C-alpha cells in the first residue's frame, strides 16, 4: 500500500539539508520510497497536510524511563546527592511499575515527535524480573521504536562505589541476563522495533572488570555500547582518586572508546578528550536540560561538532529532567550552546539535526534520522497554524525557537502512532491513571 503525505514543508535532514516548500513524502510498506517538491505521484492514499511542517521522527539517545516514578525529588541536589537520595526509592521497582513508567515516558516522547527511544535501565533489585521485557511490551503497544539496554551496577558502597550494596549485582549474572535478552528481544535487521545495547552504568557504580567484560560481550555480539561519562566535577574527582586519571582517560585505558560506543553527558572534556572522541569515532548523548537541572554544567557541543564527533540529544531520566519532551531539548541544546559560545554557536537547523540525524548516527542506525528513499518512514508532522508559530516566516526555525510543541501526527515505520496530537494505539488518560497508582509506591 502506498500513502502520500502531501501539501507540506518537508525538512528531509539529508546530507545537503534539502527542504521542500511544496513537499511530499511517498511511503510504501513502511519505508520512504520517494520525496519531492510540487508535481505529486499517484498513491493508494493521499493525506493533505495543509501546510504543516514534516521532519524525520526525533531520536532520543539517553533516557531512564523508570524515573518517571520519582519526579520532583532532591530538587536542589547535585548528581551524587541526588543519586544517594533516589537509590533507595528505585530499589522498589518491579515489572508492573516499570511497565507503567515506560508507557508514560514513551507516550510523552511520542507526543513530542520522538519515534526512537534509547533507554538506559541499570536498577535491577533482587527478585525483580522482567523489567526490560516490560519496556519492550510498552514500546510495541504504543508503536515507538525502542533501543533497550541491560544496564548494570556491581560496585556497591562498601567497595568504594556510590550505590547501596543491595542494588548491585554479580557480573556473571549481569552478563548472562544480557545474553538472554539479546536472544529473546533483539532484532538485528534494519527497521528493528526493539533492539538491545550493553550499558554498564558509570565509572562510580561499575567495577573495572565489568566494564571490560561488558565491552567484550557487546563486541562479540555486535551490539552498541554505552555508559555515563564526565557528567560532573565530583565524578572527575572520584575517578582521579580511585583510578588516578580522568573519566575519559579511564575509558581509553579500558579500550572502550570506538565507533560502536556513545557516552551520555561528556560535560567535562579537555581538548585532548575531544580529540580522542573524534579520532576513535566515539559518540556523545548531549542532555542539556538534565545537566542544567543538576547544576552539572554543559557539554562543549560546538567544539565536538567542529571536531567531527557524533552528537545526539537525550532527555535523560525523568527524575533529572521532569519533562520527557525531545523537541524541548532541541531548543535547549540551541540555547545552551549560545549561552556558552555566542549567538552563532548553533543554528536552529543544526539543533534539529542533532535531534534527528545526529541521534541516528549516535545509535549506529542508518535506517532512520532522515527522509530519503530507503529509510524507515518515521515522520513527525507539526502544525504551523498554531498560536506559537503565527508570524514565523521560517517554519523550521519557528518550530525550534518556540518549542516545546505537541506533534500533530507521528508515523513510525509508516504506522500512525499519533494523530491530531493524540495517541492512536493507547489512551493517554488510562496511562496517566495507571502510572499514578504505581507511583504511590515510590513516595516517602
Is residue 91 a contact partner of residue 128, using CB atoms and an 8 Å limit? no
**Residue 7 exposure: Cα atoms within 13 Å on the Cβ side:** 8
Closest to Zn ion by CB, 195 or 291: 291
What is the DSSP secondary-structure string of 351-372? HHHIIIIIHHHHTT-SSSSS--
Which C-beta is closer to Zn ion: that of 99 or that of 118? Answer: 118
Least separation in angstroms between CB 285 and Zn ion: 8
Distance CA 255, CA 249 (A): 10
**Spatial distance between the Cα atoms of 369 and 354, rounded to a whole number of angstroms:** 10
Block residue for cell numbers 572527575: 236
CB nearer to Zn ion: pick between 286 and 409? 286
Alpha carbon distance 192, 351 (integer Å): 26
User: Which residue's Cβ lies closest to Zn ion?
Assistant: 316
Q: How many residues does the chain have?
A: 444
- For residues 327 and 121, is the Cβ–Cβ distance under 8 A? no
C-beta of 62 vs 145, nearer to Zn ion: 62
Is 113 in contact with 326 (CB distance < 8 Å)? yes
Residue 79 Cβ, how far from Zn ion at the closest point, in Å?
Answer: 9
d(CA 407, CA 409): 6
Rg from Cα positions in the chain? 21
Nearer to Zn ion among residue 305 and residue 319 (C-beta): 319
Binding footprint of Zn ion on the chain (CB under 5 A): 316
Least distance from C-beta 289 to Zn ion, angstroms?
12
Residue 384: which of 394, 376, 373, 374 has the closest Cα? 394
* Of 12 and 289, CB closest to Zn ion: 289
* Least gap, CB of 56 to Zn ion (angstroms): 24
Smaller CB separation from Zn ion, 283 or 413: 283
Closest contact distance (angstroms) between CB of 283 and Zn ion is 15
Are 8 and 36 in contact by the 8 Å Cβ rule? The answer is: no
Q: Is 9 exposed, middle or buried (0-12, 13-18, 19+ CB in 10 A)?
A: buried
Would you give the distance in Å from CA 152 to the centre of its chain?
A: 18
Find how far residue 209's CA is from the centre of its chain. Answer: 27
* Closest CB 426 distance from Zn ion, rounded Å: 25
253: Cα separation from own chain's centroid: 27
The residue among 316 and 325 lying less far from Zn ion, judged by its C-beta, is: 316
Query: Is the CB of 260 or the CB of 316 nearer to Zn ion?
Result: 316
> For residues 376 and 368, what is the distance between their CA atoms, to the nearest angstrom?
6
Quote the CA–CA distance of 196 and 117 in Å, as a whole number. 12
* Least CB distance to Zn ion at residue 287 (A): 7
Q: Which of 109, 49, 59 is nearest to 383 (CA)?
A: 49
Output the smallest distance, CB 239 to Zn ion, in A.
Answer: 17
The minimum distance between CB 231 and Zn ion, in angstroms, equals 8
Residue 223 vs 296, nearer CB to Zn ion: 296
What's the closest the beta carbon of residue 211 comes to Zn ion, in angstroms?
17
Please choose, from the candidates 163, 170, 160, the residue with its C-alpha nearest in 3D space to the C-alpha of residue 86: 163
Say how far apart CA 212 and CA 182 lie, in whole Å.
Answer: 19
Amino acid at each position: 500500500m502506498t500513502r502520500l503525505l502531501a501539501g507540506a514543508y518537508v525538512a528531509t535532514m539529508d546530507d545537503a539539508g534539502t527542504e521542500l516548500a511544496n513537499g511530499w513524502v511517498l511511503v510504501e510498506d513502511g519505508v520512504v520510497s520517494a520525496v519531492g517538491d510540487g508535481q505529486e505521484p499517484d498513491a493508494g492514499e493521499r493525506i493533505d497536510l495543509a501546510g504543516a511542517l514534516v521532519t524525520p521522527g526525533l531520536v532520543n539517545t539517553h533516557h531512564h524511563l523508570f524515573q518517571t516514578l520519582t519526579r520532583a525529588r532532591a530538587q536542589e541536589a547535585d548528581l551524587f546527592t541526588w543519586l544517594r537520595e533516589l537509590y533507595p526509592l528505585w530499589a522498589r521497582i518491579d515489572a508492573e511499575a516499570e511497565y507503567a513508567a515506560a508507557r508514560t515516558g514513551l507516550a510523552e516522547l511520542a507526543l513530542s515527535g520522538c519515534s526512537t527511544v534509547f533507554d538506559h535501565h541499570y536498577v535491577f533489585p533482587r527478585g525483580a524480573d522482567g523489567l526490560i521485557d516490560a519496556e519492550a511490551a510498552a514500546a510495541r503497544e504504543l508503536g515507538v521504536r525502542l533501543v533497550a539496554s541491560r544496564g548494570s551496577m556491581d560496585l556497591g558502597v562498601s567497595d568504594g562505589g556510590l550505590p547501596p550494596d543491595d542494588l548491585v549485582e554479580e557480573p556473571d549474572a549481569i552478563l548472562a541476563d544480557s545474553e538472554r535478552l539479546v536472544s529473546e528481544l533483539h532484532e538485528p535487521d534494519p527497521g528493528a522495533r526493539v533492539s538491545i545495547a550493553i550499558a554498564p552504568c558509570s565509572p562510580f557504580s561499575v567495577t573495572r572488570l565489568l566494564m571490560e567484560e561488558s565491552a567484550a560481550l557487546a563486541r562479540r555480539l555486535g551490539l552498541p555500547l554505552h555508559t555515563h561519562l564526565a557528567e560532573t566535577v565530583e565524578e572527575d574527582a572520584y575517578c582521579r582518586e580511585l583510578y588516578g586519571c580522568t573519566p575519559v582517560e579511564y575509558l581509553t585505558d579500558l579500550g572502550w572508546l570506538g565507533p560502536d560506543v556513545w557516552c551520555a553527558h561528556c560535560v567535562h572534556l579537555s581538548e585532548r578528550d575531544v580529540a580522542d572522541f573524534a579520532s576513535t569515532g566515539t559518540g556523545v548523548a548531549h542532555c542539556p536540560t538534565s545537566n542544567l537541572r543538576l547544576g552539572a554544567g554543559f557539554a562543549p557541543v560546538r567544539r565536538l561538532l567542529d571536531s567531527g564527533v557524533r552528537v545526539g540529544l537525550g532527555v535523560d531520566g525523568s527524575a533529572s529532567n521532569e519533562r520527557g519532551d525531545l523537541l524541548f531539548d532541541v531548543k535547549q541544546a540551541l540555547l545552551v550552546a549560545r549561552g556558552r559560545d555566542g549567538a552563532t554557536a548553533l543554528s536552529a537547523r543544526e539543533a534539529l539535526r542533532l535531534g534527528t540525524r545526529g541521534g541516528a548516527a549516535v545509535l549506529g542506525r542508518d535506517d532512520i534520522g532522515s527522509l530519503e528513499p530507503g529509510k524507515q518512514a518515521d515522520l513527525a508532522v507539526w502544525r504551523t497554524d498554531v498560536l506559537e508559530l503565527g508570524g514565523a516566516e521560517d517554519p523550521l526555525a519557528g518550530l525550534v525557537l518556540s518549542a516545546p510543541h505537541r506533534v500533530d501526527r507521528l508515523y513510525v515505520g509508516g504506522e500512525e502512532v499519533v494523530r491530531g496530537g493524540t495517541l492512536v494505539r493507547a489512551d493517554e488518560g488510562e496511562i496517566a491513571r495507571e502510572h499514578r497508582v504505581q507511583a504511590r509506591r515510590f513516595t516517602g
